[in-house]
Structure 1
Amino acid sequence: MSNTKYILGSFADPDEMMDGIDRLQANNISIYDCFTPMPIHGIEAKLGVKPSRLPIAAFCFGGLGLILGFSLLYFTMSYDWPMNIGGKPSMPLPNFVPVSFEVTILLCALGMVATFFFRNHLFPGRAPRVMDLRATDDRFIIAIDARDNSNHELIDSLLKEAGAVEVKYNERKYVSYE
């Protein structure tokens, strides 16, 4: 069995890369991932990437912030140290709104940053997941798992027909996150 783990097609133009994706999918060749230096509209739908569940996480973090902010105000103003200030009630709900709102935003933002780092494996000491360094500069890369797709000559010809500048057979050199 060969050491080749990925076949990388390097494109200079995003439209040629999208054409390469179409050609590969028309021949039932599964694509591992695409690496681009900028966002490309519609690539997620073409690759079959499911919608993100980050809005659900943001809602949960925001709800937690609202509950914690309101609980803190209730505990300090009504339970632990109730004060009669100008004849106002000890639990004035309209006065709780600004602090509860700010704690909601704070916990939502901090929770989303933590979720982003966790989800993308951006921990200190982890090796980067970069298949080709030119993907961060000026190239558009299609990575195809060589072990799932055995017809390497067909993949090579399809990528070159679509306008690939270079086709490389790559061994994985980074730490696996799967």
Structure 2
Amino acid sequence: MASRTIHAIYTDDDLLLQAVKQIRDARYHIGEVYTPFPVHGLDKVMGLAPTRLAITSFLYGITGLCVAIWMMNFMMIEDWPRDIGGKPSFTFIQNMPAFVPIMFELTVFFAAHLMVITFYMRSKLWPFRKAENPDFRTTDDHFLVEVDAASHNVDDLTKFLYDTGASEIKLIE
């Protein structure tokens, strides 16, 4: 059987949230929801798992902190110790107050830059990639719900989606 989806267009975010609840309660499969801005609570209504990006950000920050500690210890203590401003470089611990800004900056640098790269890789936003937005109005003021219609009666599903408040419905084969 061919893959068929229905695109239901909504004009209000509250109406969209109610429609997604009703669609999920009726056991229809929602492929994707396109919105012009983040809709609070939509991820919970759709039943999406919580994001793990905060965990990866923490791990990237810890990596940056470790790199900063290793880098400063190697450069300032082991490789080429200098007496800068009357502070002798005998041990890392003695000079740690002077190293705190560098450790903080590298922690933020690693977390920020690696999070951007992770986000682009996770969402598959590669450079020069063609946009996959099915309706240009979803970048302005409309909301689109993509419902899988392969194993359902299209007429019943269309009537159901109109009853949820959809202003426009298209069948995509």
Same fold (TM over 0.5): yes
Percent identity, please: 34
Alpha-carbon separation, structure 2, partners of 1:113 and 1:59: 13
Alpha-carbon separation, structure 2, partners of 1:87 and 1:163: 71
Query: What is the Cα deviation at residue 26 of structure 1?
Result: 2.4
**Counterpart for residue 9 of structure 2:** 10
Alpha-carbon separation, structure 1, partners of 2:55 and 2:144: 31
2:153 to 134, 151, 154: 151
Structure 2: segments with no counterpart, 5+ residues: none
Superposed CA RMSD in Å reads: 1.7
- Runs of 4+ with deviation above 3 angstroms: none
Alpha-carbon separation, structure 2, partners of 1:118 and 1:87: 44
Specify the SS of the correspondent of 2:30.
coil
Structure 1: segments with no counterpart, 5+ residues: 172-178
Alpha-carbon separation, structure 1, partners of 2:22 and 2:160: 7
> When the two structures are superposed, what TM-score results if normalisation uses the length of structure 1?
0.87
Residue pair 1:20, 1:158 contacting (<8 A) in 2 also: no
**Counterpart for residue 69 of structure 1:** 68
Matched residue type, 1:47: M
Query: What is the Cα deviation at residue 34 of structure 1?
Result: 1.1
Deviations 1:39-93 (A, max 9, x none): 2111111100111100111111111111111111100111111234536342312
Q: 1:39 to 1:87 in 2, by over 3 A?
A: closer
**Counterpart for residue 31 of structure 2:** 32
1:104 to 103, 107, 112: 107
Residue pair 1:23, 1:158 contacting (<8 A) in 2 also: no
Residue pair 1:58, 1:112 contacting (<8 A) in 2 also: yes
Specify the SS of the correspondent of 1:154.
helix
Query: What is the Cα deviation at residue 135 of structure 1?
Result: 1.0
